[in-house]
Amino acid sequence: MILIALGANLVSRFGQPRETLEAALARLPVAGLRVAACSAWYATAPIPASDQPDYVNGVAAVETDLDAEATLAALHAIEAEFGRVRSVVNAPRVLDLDLIAYHDEVRATAPILPHPRMHERAFVLVPLADVAPAWTHPLLGRSVAELIAALPPGQAIRRLD
């Protein structure tokens, strides 16, 4: 299973963050990433806490013939197409597409897999539970439910209708 986290907290040419994420989701197949499932959308506060706007986040399971490097390159190309400018770490963004897992591959070099902080983030794990509730972290050997239960406090997340 290939898992992609989607997030946005700035208005883009596609509209509000949720509209941007829906446009990005629709763009994935053009890049060779067939969407098999997508979570609900969630509102989350930025991490680390800051005065920037809240994010809208979700997770998609995709299928592709691309390898992990090409998948990440495709995601970065979509971000750039949508107006993402990489400046400082944790900056607000019009679109963030993260490769969080590529099957059960474990890698210490780019792209690092699974994503090195995914197990610490409610904005990844809660939507992931929508898409793949039986998924197990290949390094930690823990289920999504176990990872959610172990999250540090203070990560408010709200499902959007």
Q: Could you count the other beta carbons within 10 Å of the beta carbon of residue 9?
A: 23
Where b means 16+ CB within 10 Å and e means fewer, 21-30 reads bbbbbebbee
Annotation says 13 is catalytic: no
Residue 96 falls in the annotated catalytic set: yes
- Check residue 141 and give left, alpha or beta (phi > 0: left; psi -120 to 50: alpha): left
Q: How far apart are CA 2 and CA 39, in angstroms?
A: 14
Q: Are 1 and 99 in contact (CB under 8 A)?
A: no
27, 67, 86, 93: the active-site residue:
93
Per the residue annotation, which of 96, 130, 159, 161 is the catalytic one? 96
Q: Which of 98, 107, 121, 158 is catalytic?
A: 98
> 26: which 2 tokens?
């629709």
Q: Which residue has the tokens 């989350």?
A: 44
Q: What is the DSSP letter of 119?
A: G
- Please tell me which residue in 34, 84, 86, 107 is annotated as part of the active site: 84
Q: What residues are labeled active site?
A: 84, 93, 96, 98
